[in-house]
Each structure stands twice: as C-alpha cells, then as structure tokens.
Structure 1
Amino acid sequence: MDKRDALERIRHFVNDFFTDDTSGHDDVHMKRVASWAKYIAIKEGENPFLCEVAALLHDVGDHKLFSDPAQAIQQRDKLLMDVGFTENEVDTIDDAIRTVSFSRGAVPNSRIGEIIQDADRLDAIGAVGIARAFAFGGSINQPIYKEDEKDAISHFYEKLLKLRELMHTECGKQEAERRHQFMLQYLEEFYREQECREETSHVTE
C-alpha cells in the first residue's frame, strides 16, 4: 500500500462529506482529530497510521450527521479496501470508530479505540472546543445563554467539563487538563461580563 496515496484519497473522501458542515463537524475537525490521534499514537507506542486513518473517518456514518448511516459506513469500508487495507485492518478501524461517541457512552476495547476517543474528546474542549460548542448550538438554534433554558453554556456542564476525567492515555490526560483549565477561565470571564461584575468568581464544575 502507498500510504501517502491512501491518506490523500481518504482526505478527499472526508472533504466530500464534511467540507460544508457548520455544526463543528467539518473536514477541519476531522483533520485536527487525526493530527492529535497520530501524535498520541506516537507517544503511546501505537500504530500512528491506523490511528490517523480511523480518526479522519471517525464521523462517517454518525447517526447525527447522516440520514443513511449504514450506506455511509459501506462507502467508508469500500474505500479502505480499495486503497489497500486488509479485512482485519478494516475491522480494527471500524471497531475503533464504533466506540468514539460520547452520547452513546461507548467504552473502547482496543488501544487504537482509546486513542481515537481521546483525540476526538480533546477537540471538544479547550479553545477549539468552546468555538465548536457555540457553532453546534447555533446549528440547532440554541441561544448562547438564557437562565432556566437549554443553551450553549449548559453544554459545558452536561459534557465538556466531564471529559477530562474520561481520558484513557497519559498524553490525552495531560492535554485535557490544560484545556479543562482554559474552559474554567473562560466561564469565569463569561459570567463576569454577563453579570456586569468587576472581578471574576470561581466556577463550580
């Protein structure tokens, strides 16, 4: 297999699906997750190529993004076979992707799955995660902030501030801690500006 050619074809495939997305699940999200998956894999002594490929494709077939997830998954697996992956490698990639989702509460059963899940969760927190939270909220017509209503800020407490404790790899844990602290600082400043106060106050997680 020509790995460079395989990656190029996979990136084009991903671009075709996600380039016009405005909910925070665009092709740039896939590339960031792939970059971090590759980085973590190298640090953790896992296969960086398989991790990068699985991360690029991790949202293909997501029920939130596709009207026909099964068809998208079939197209994904056909592409993997066409570029030269073995049936066992395709199964490994599929298995890792199946356990990525936070909303499904899935627990990875492989090291590659743990790395992909960590990389995807890292992209949900920190500076990028904050931007994506508001992009997603806007895509489903959520307000930024309204007391006693489901808003974009509530997403921090429902999901984002929980992710630090759910990381698997040492590398992922270290990066998640940094991003977690940034989100707390952001929320403290958000509430200071929202409530017209001179000083920030501690945010309770």
Structure 2
Amino acid sequence: MSPTFLDSPFKGEANAGLLVDRVAQHIRARFAGEGSGHDWHHINRVRRLARQIAAAEGADQDVAELAALVHDIADWKFHHGDDGIGPREAERLLRDEGAAPEVIEQVVDIVRTISFKGAGVVTPMQTLEGRCVQDADRLDAIGAIGIARCFAYGGYAGRSMYDPDEAPVMHATAEAYKASKGHSLNHFYEKLFLLKERMNTATGRAMAEARHRYMEEFVLRFLKEWEGE
C-alpha cells in the first residue's frame, strides 16, 4: 500500500492540509515572477490537475498535491543539468516543514522521476500518486498553455522559433536530450506530440485528447503562415 498522511504523525486530513498550505506558500513566494513558463501559475495548475486526476483515479490527493507543489522546485534545466538538485531541495523543504519520512520518501521519488528525458527514455512512476502528478505536469505542457510555455521557454533560453533547415531529433538518451539546443517548433515533435501516448491514467489520457488536437492544428497553421499562406 502506498504511504499516506494517515500513516504519518499528522494523523488526518486537517494536518495534512496545513502542511500542503505551508509548502504552497513557500513555493508561491519562491516562483513569483518567474519568466520561463515554470512559474507559480504553472505549478498551481499542475497542483489542481494532480488533485483532480488523483480523485478520479482513487489516489491519495494530499500526496499528489504536495508532490505537484514541489515537482519543479529545482528543475535541472536551470541548474546545469543536475538531476539530483530537485529531489534534494524537495526533501529539504519537506523535512523543514515536518513531513513524515514515508511521505518525504514518496514525494521525493515522484520529483526524481517526473521529468521527460527524451523520446527514447522511459520514466515509469512507481506509485499511483506519481502517475497522477506526471500526467498533470504533462497536461500543462500541451494544448494552448503548452504552446505558450514552449515559446516562453524558448525565448528565455535564447532559442529561435523555427529553422526549416534543422530537423527534429528523437533523443535516445537523457544526455542527448539535455544537450539539445534546437528551435522551439522542434520541441513539438521531440516531446509535446509524444505526451498524449505517454499518459499513465485513463483520466489523463481523456484530458489530453483535445489539447493534443489543438497543438496539431496550431503547428499546421504555423507552417502554412511561415510559407506565406
């Protein structure tokens, strides 16, 4: 059985809620005004989606919500490719806030595993809560919001919008994916178009359908307008 707050010293939903609220306040202050698309609003959207998916799938909503709040606490993209900094920062914050060891262990494992690491790299989640949070994060990477975030990050990272001479690359390793500096439109082919089929839950798959279609329509329109149509 997955660890829950009912197994912890907090003994019940009210205390679990207090922990979630404290962590949310910390994360909101830390990510206010962030400009790459990985801001507080992204985190809060993932938080809401994770709780919604967890409710539909029968997962622990408090664990899912807490993991969603810390899932981007220190993304490797902003820390020289360091995969370990996110789990370390999440563990430190949760320990400082008094979370039970079994809750910390589950949440940190979700943070460690959540990121997309390349078309050829599989990142399976060990718990239902992790699968719900990963689906929530991926849902916020697609659709209208996902399109906006893709170009926001591209601008932040100094990438061009599109270069017709540069083909997409289906990265076989996490190292190759991290080293990629391709233009923003390639990101749709290298990651975003792949996410619908990588949803873990029935709820996530259903929610991804319309967002995926919207991205396909956008890219077709983009390419037509690029050619002057």
TM-score class, shorter-chain normalisation, is 0.7 to 0.9
Q: Structure 1 stretches (4+) deviating beyond 6 angstroms?
A: none
What is the identity, as a one-letter code, of the residue corresponding to 2:77? Answer: K
Instruction: Pick from 56, 65, 81 the counterpart of residue 52 of structure 1.
Output: 65
State TM-score, norm by structure 1: 0.87
Question: Mind listing any 5+ residue stretches in structure 2 that lack a counterpart?
Answer: 1-9, 167-181
Identity over aligned pairs, percent:
38
Aligned counterparts of 1:153 and 1:170: Cα–Cα separation in 2: 28
State TM-score, norm by structure 2: 0.79
Instruction: Pick from 144, 149, 152 the counterpart of residue 127 of structure 1.
Output: 144
* 1:148 has 2:171 as partner: no
Aligned counterparts of 2:87 and 2:194: Cα–Cα separation in 1: 29
Instruction: Pick from 191, 199, 211 the counterpart of residue 179 of structure 1.
Output: 211
Q: CA RMSD, aligned part only?
A: 2.0
Aligned counterparts of 1:119 and 1:54: Cα–Cα separation in 2: 11
Closer, same or farther: CA 16–65 of 1 in aligned 2, 3 Å: farther
Deviation at residue 192 of structure 1 after TM alignment: 2.2
Instruction: Pick from 33, 39, 45 the counterpart of residue 52 of structure 2.
Output: 39
CA shift digits 1:71-94 (9 cap, x unpaired): 664453243234442111110111
Verify the 8 A CA contact 1:61 1:69 in the aligned structure 2: no
Aligned counterparts of 2:130 and 2:187: Cα–Cα separation in 1: 24
Match for residue 201 of structure 1?
none
Aligned counterparts of 1:72 and 1:147: Cα–Cα separation in 2: 35
Q: How many residues are matched?
A: 197
SS in 1 for 2:184: coil
Deviation at residue 63 of structure 1 after TM alignment: 2.0
Aligned counterparts of 1:180 and 1:71: Cα–Cα separation in 2: 31
Match for residue 100 of structure 1?
114
CA shift digits 1:31-87 (9 cap, x unpaired): 111110000000001111110110110012322224687666445324323444211
What is the identity, as a one-letter code, of the residue corresponding to 1:20? Answer: G
